[in-house]
Structure 1
Amino acid sequence: MAGPSHYIMARAEMDKPTKILIVVSPYYKDIADNMVAGAIAEIEASGATHEIVEVPGALEIPTAIGIAERMSNFDGYVALGCVIRGETTHYDTVCNDSSRAIQLLGLQGLCIGNGILTVENRTQAEVRADPADQNKGGSAAAAALHLVALSRKWGRPEKGVGFTSDILLAQDDTKTV
């Protein structure tokens, strides 16, 4: 396969310290390690810092990101994993549900670079994960960093980023005014 023929944006510039969480499923350890190496290189090249957490599979990646968002102080997230088609429909479930969950978190304002590979075979995964080839780990990190920069550009402390609701979940109708 020929090299990339798509446009690659310039590296995002951070206006203040940036902390990224890499959430990786090492189900295919060698592929995951290559993707993490690419992501770390991109994060460090932008001047950001990172932490890494491992989860059992691709379906757990969005859950870990959601927990980290509620309980920690990361600016962005990189989701890394690999799903290789097998003989059952489990492949479709894992691909669709992990992607959908990451998209929903993004629509809530989280800055996530999705680097979960969905491939037909191991060879495709190896090419996409290789930092010297398609470097999908680095691409996912770059996407997260671009979203962090965009949220900082548009965000204001009084406005924030993401959806908010003024709906009351429960009301005490027994009080009178």
Structure 2
Amino acid sequence: MAGASHYIIPLPEFDQPVKILIVASPYYKDISDHQVAGAKAEIEKAGATWEIVEVPGALEIPTAIGIAERMSNFDGYVALGCVIRGETTHYDTVCNDSSRAIQLLGLQGLCIGNGILTVETYEQAAVRADPDQMNKGGGAAAAALHLIALARKWGKAEKGVGFTRDILMAGSSDNADKA
């Protein structure tokens, strides 16, 4: 029986250049190579440019993204790695912590496509990474591109959380006039 089909949103179009950082963990080199190939193709299809950096493992991916956000000028990020279940609970720690860290970065406003595979077997990873099969690297790149498009649509946040300096200053000058 064939799997259920799913709808894929068309790639966004951009009127300004888009620069994406691919952060890949080549722990399983052939899996990583397929993920990266899929991500690069999707980014290029949207007319964007990319740079790539490699880190030792999935846990280092969010840290590298955080450093890049503070010290560079990327519009978005693609996180690529693979965690295959082993005999210990280390799998759970790596899967949960890398995913949670990426989600927290996203909630801070970073545009990240999460393509860290979390699988039971090498065979599952191979199918998901292959650009001619499930192409999860391309999917992660598309997710980053869609988030960048949303961020550009809505623009930079100019309103703060809580009281702004102008409100505080206005309140203090009103009080000073009454004194």
Q: Give TM-score scaled by structure 1 length.
A: 0.88
CA distance in 2, matches of 1:73, 1:36: 21
* 1:125 shift after superposition: 0.1
| Matched residue, 1:136 | 136
CA distance in 2, matches of 1:164, 1:94: 33
Q: From the CA coordinates, give the structure whose radius of gyration is larger.
A: 2
CA shift digits 1:11-59 (9 cap, x unpaired): 1111200000000000000000000000000000000000000000000
What's the Cα RMSD here?
2.0
| Matched residue, 1:159 | 158
| Matched residue, 1:74 | 74
Q: 1:164 to 1:74 in 2, by over 3 A?
A: farther
SS of 2:138's partner is helix
Aligned 1:52-131 pairs, distance under 5 A: 52-131=52-131
Instruction: Name whichever structure is richer in helix by fraction.
Output: 2
SS of 1:27's partner is coil
CA shift digits 1:41-79 (9 cap, x unpaired): 000000000000000000000000000000000000000
CA shift digits 1:62-104 (9 cap, x unpaired): 0000000000000000000000000000000000000000000
Q: Tell me which amino acid in the other structure corresponds to 1:55.
A: V
Structure 2 residue runs without a partner (length 5+)? 165-179
SS of 1:115's partner is strand
Q: Tell me which amino acid in the other structure corresponds to 1:137.
A: G
Q: 1:121 to 1:151 in 2, by over 3 A?
A: same
Structure 1 residue runs without a partner (length 5+)? 168-177
CA distance in 1, matches of 2:93, 2:101: 12
Q: Tell me which amino acid in the other structure corresponds to 1:119.
A: V
CA distance in 1, matches of 2:62, 2:82: 14
CA distance in 2, matches of 1:4, 1:138: 20
Alignment identity in percent? Answer: 79
Q: Tell me which amino acid in the other structure corresponds to 1:17.
A: P
Q: Tell me which amino acid in the other structure corresponds to 2:129.
A: A
CA distance in 2, matches of 1:70, 1:21: 13
CA distance in 2, matches of 1:144, 1:37: 16
The runs of 4+ residues in structure 1 deviating greater than 2 Å are 1-4, 163-167
SS of 1:116's partner is strand
SS of 1:51's partner is strand
| Matched residue, 1:24 | 24
Q: 1:120 to 1:165 in 2, by over 3 A?
A: farther
Q: 1:110 to 1:120 in 2, by over 3 A?
A: same
